[in-house]
């Protein structure tokens, strides 16, 4: 199993093309969940390759990176599925996927499909001031949130970033006491009350089952 640090910077490189298989090109932040789902569901027809999870911080890089990955692998696989939602690309990823003839996960981002896109949309108005974390983001909070925002060096910026938020929602994909404790510590750091929700894999499992 790759470490979160590895998934953050490198992703997963799949070097075993299988013409009868489906290749999942995923955000590195979803790698653990997808590997779990492949195991749980015995999806032996699936291979996984991941792009660096840190693109989460630079969504403008996602569309091009996905396009390159699709072009690299498309001739080697029966089918390709993109395990990204819109993820801040402003519709550009969907447009590119349509051009390339590959499908992707519906919804604006992982917080939505883990919760279930329909439910997330229903609750959207009541939750506009919620800051979401997933298992991956709880585990990688410093690398993905705290340090890139400069809060390790300038904690005085905390209100500039989070002043309009009223709660921290931890969407747990797994039941893990260590992550729960970490989420609690993060909520203290952010001065936000914590709400923990066990979502499991939500629409991610449904989307992959159709891939």
Partner 1 sequence: MSDEQDIILADLSDEELTLQMHDDLYDGMKEEIEESVNILLGRGWMPYDVLTKALVEGMRIVGIDFRDGILFVPEVLLAANAMKGGMAILKPLLAETGAPRLGNMLIGTVKGDIHDIGKNLVTMMMEGAGFEVKDLGINNPVENYVQELEDGEYDILGMSALLTTTMPYMKVVIDTMVEKGMRDDYVVLVGGAPLNEEFGKAIGADAYCRDAAVAVETAKEFMAKKHNQLSM
Asked whether position 164 contacts partner 1 by CB under 8 A, the answer is yes
Asked whether position 149 contacts partner 1 by CB under 8 A, the answer is yes
Binding pattern for the stretch 98-127 against partner 1, x by CB under 8 A and - elsewhere: ----------xx--------------xx--
From the list 199, 209, 10, the residue with the least C-alpha distance to 110 is 199
Give dist(CA 56, CA 141) in Å, integer: 12
Cα torsion through 99, 105, 111, 116, rounded to 10: 140
Asked whether position 129 contacts partner 1 by CB under 8 A, the answer is yes
Q: Which is nearer to partner 1, 12 or 207 (CB)?
A: 207
Asked whether position 181 contacts partner 1 by CB under 8 A, the answer is no
Positive or negative, the CA dihedral 185, 4, 178, 115 is positive
From the list 168, 167, 164, the residue with the least C-alpha distance to 183 is 168
In sequence order, what are the beta bridge partners of 46? 22
Give dist(CA 78, CA 164) in Å, integer: 46
State in angstroms the smallest separation of the CB of 90 from partner 1.
Answer: 4
Asked whether position 157 contacts partner 1 by CB under 8 A, the answer is yes
Q: Which is nearer to partner 1, 77 or 84 (CB)?
A: 84
Q: Which is nearer to partner 1, 37 or 145 (CB)?
A: 145
CB hemisphere CA count around 167 (13 angstroms): 11
State in angstroms the smallest separation of the CB of 165 from partner 1.
Answer: 7
Asked whether position 160 contacts partner 1 by CB under 8 A, the answer is yes
Other CB atoms within 10 Å distance of the CB of residue 148 = 14
Asked whether position 200 contacts partner 1 by CB under 8 A, the answer is no
Could you say which residues in the range 79-98 bind partner 1, by CB under 8 A?
86, 88-92
Exactly one of 154, 174, 191, 193 binds partner 1 (CB under 8 A); that residue is 154
Asked whether position 150 contacts partner 1 by CB under 8 A, the answer is yes
Give 118: exposed, middle or buried? Use CB within 10 Å, 0-12, 13-18, 19+: exposed
Give dist(CA 211, CA 204) in Å, integer: 11
- Provide the binding-site residues for partner 1, judged by CB under 8 A: 59, 86, 88-92, 108-109, 124-125, 128-129, 148-151, 153-154, 157, 160-161, 164-165
């Amino acid at each position: 199993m790759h470490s979160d640090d590895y998934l953050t910077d490198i992703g997963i490189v799949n070097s075993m093309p299988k013409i009868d298989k489906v290749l999942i090109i995923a955000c590195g932040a979803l790698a653990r969940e997808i590997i779990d789902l492949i195991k749980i569901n015995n999806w032996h027809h699936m291979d996984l390759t991941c792009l660096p999870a840190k693109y989460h911080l630079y969504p403008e890089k996602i569309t091009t990176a996905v396009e390159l990955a699709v072009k690299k692998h498309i001739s080697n696989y029966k089918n390709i599925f993109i395990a990204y939602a819109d993820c801040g690309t402003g519709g550009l990823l969907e447009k590119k996927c349509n051009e390339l003839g590959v499908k992707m996960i519906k919804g604006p981002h992982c917080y939505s499909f883990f919760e279930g896109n329909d439910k997330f949309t229903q609750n959207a108005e009541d939750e506009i001031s919620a800051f979401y974390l997933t298992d991956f983001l709880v585990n990688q909070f410093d690398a993905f949130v705290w340090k890139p925002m400069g809060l390790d060096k300038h904690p005085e910026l905390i209100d500039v970033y989070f002043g309009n938020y009223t709660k921290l929602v931890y969407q747990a994909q797994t039941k893990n006491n260590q992550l729960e404790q970490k989420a609690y510590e993060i909520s203290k750091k952010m001065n936000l009350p914590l709400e923990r929700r066990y979502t499991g894999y939500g629409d991610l499992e449904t989307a992959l089952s159709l891939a």
